[in-house]
């Protein structure tokens, strides 16, 4: 098994990083610095070269399956790489939207506040409560029959989401949830629980303002 220490000292990624900074390393060297060593029969430089190629090809679509297809990369090494990606994405990228309170949701659903029909929206989020995607699920009269869990959660599951936020508008301008709203919310919450998803909030919006199920104590943990 070859490790970074088997390389000449001036070629070792971690030593180069210490002397010149991470920006001086090539993609392959950055991957090698993360992995540290190869496996029996596959040296770290070969692994790093293939992994760097996958990163350039798939970018944010890189998955465990992509990485584990590389000889010498098992779950542990693939996990190291994806974890490093996710940590950087959460804290260094500027275009993510993190939801901490109901008001953070409002800019995402401002487009439906004044609609003359009812729009039901589902927002999928990752484990850091950052928005992955916002989707309009149904348009029209909303009740527990028209908003089916299958339609709501199919794309959420494909997103590999950890949590969801529901939102819909009231064309009437009334901010209070109706009995149909409460039944629909209960049905979706039960489905989310079965799927292992957290429901962070359900927001009703109108031109007058908003109603948050979370703020009203209607979200079950």
Domain that holds residue 170: 102-212
Cα Rg, the chain, nearest whole Å = 23
Residues in the chain: 221
The answer to the question of residue 25 being in a domain is yes
Rounded Cα distance, 70 and 50, in Å: 7
Catalogue the long-range contacts made by 9-17 (C-beta closer than 8 Å, 24 or more residues apart): none
What is the tens place of the pLDDT at every residue in 127-169?
Answer: 999 999 999 999 987 655 578 899 999 999 999 899 999 999 9
> Do 114 and 37 share a structural domain?
no
Lowest-pLDDT range, 78-92, 104-118, 163-177?
78-92
Statement: residue 196 has pLDDT above 70:
yes
Choose one of 63, 91, 119: the last residue of a domain: 91
What is the tens place of the pLDDT at every residue in 82-104?
Answer: 999 888 877 776 567 999 999 99
> Do 19 and 41 share a structural domain?
yes
- Total domain count for the chain? 2
> Do 169 and 200 share a structural domain?
yes
pLDDT bracket for residue 209 (50, 70, 90): very high
> Do 111 and 82 share a structural domain?
no
The answer to the question of residue 50 being in a domain is yes
Strand 131-139 vs strand 209-212: parallel, antiparallel, or unpaired?
unpaired
The answer to the question of residue 217 being in a domain is no
% residues pLDDT > 90 (the chain): 68
Which residue did the predictor score with more confidence, 106 or 39?
Answer: 106
Cβ atoms within 10 Å of 33's Cβ, excluding its own: 19
Q: CATH number, domain at 161? A: 3.40.140.10
> Do 151 and 72 share a structural domain?
no
> Do 51 and 19 share a structural domain?
yes
> Do 50 and 15 share a structural domain?
yes
CA distances from 158 to 20, 81, 155 (A): 41, 21, 5
The answer to the question of residue 97 being in a domain is no
The answer to the question of residue 221 being in a domain is no
Choose one of 66, 91, 116: the last residue of a domain: 91
Q: Which residues in 35-192 belong to E strands, given as ranges?
A: 119-125, 131-139, 163-169
pLDDT recorded at residue 4: 61
The answer to the question of residue 177 being in a domain is yes
Choose one of 49, 64, 91: the last residue of a domain: 91
pLDDT bracket for residue 212 (50, 70, 90): very high
> Do 115 and 21 share a structural domain?
no
> Do 130 and 82 share a structural domain?
no
> Do 135 and 83 share a structural domain?
no
The answer to the question of residue 34 being in a domain is yes
Mean pLDDT of the chain: 89
Statement: residue 61 has pLDDT above 80:
yes
pLDDT bracket for residue 13 (50, 70, 90): confident
């Amino acid at each position: 098994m070859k490790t970074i220490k088997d390389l000449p000292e001036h070629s070792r990624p971690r030593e180069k990083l210490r002397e010149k900074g991470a920006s001086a390393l090539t993609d392959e060297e950055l991957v090698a610095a993360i992995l540290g060593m190869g496996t029996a029969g596959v040296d770290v430089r070969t692994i790093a070269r293939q992994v760097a190629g996958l990163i350039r090809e798939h970018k944010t679509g890189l998955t465990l399956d992509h990485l584990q297809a590389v000889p010498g990369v098992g779950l542990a090494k693939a996990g190291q790489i994806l974890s490093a990606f996710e940590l950087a994405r959460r804290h260094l990228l500027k275009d993510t939207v993190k939801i901490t309170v109901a008001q953070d949701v409002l800019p995402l659903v401002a487009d439906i506040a004044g609609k003359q029909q009812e729009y039901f929206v589902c927002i999928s989020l990752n484990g850091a409560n950052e928005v992955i995607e916002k989707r309009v699920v149904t348009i029209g009269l909303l009740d527990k029959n028209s908003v089916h869990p299958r339609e709501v959660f199919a794309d959420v599951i494909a997103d590999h989401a950890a949590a969801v936020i529901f939102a819909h508008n009231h064309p009437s301008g009334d901010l209070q949830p109706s009995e149909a709203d409460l039944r629909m919310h209960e049905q979706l919450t039960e489905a989310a629980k079965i799927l292992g998803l957290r429901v962070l909030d359900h927001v009703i919006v109108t031109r007058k303002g908003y109603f948050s199920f979370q703020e009203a104590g209607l979200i079950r943990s």
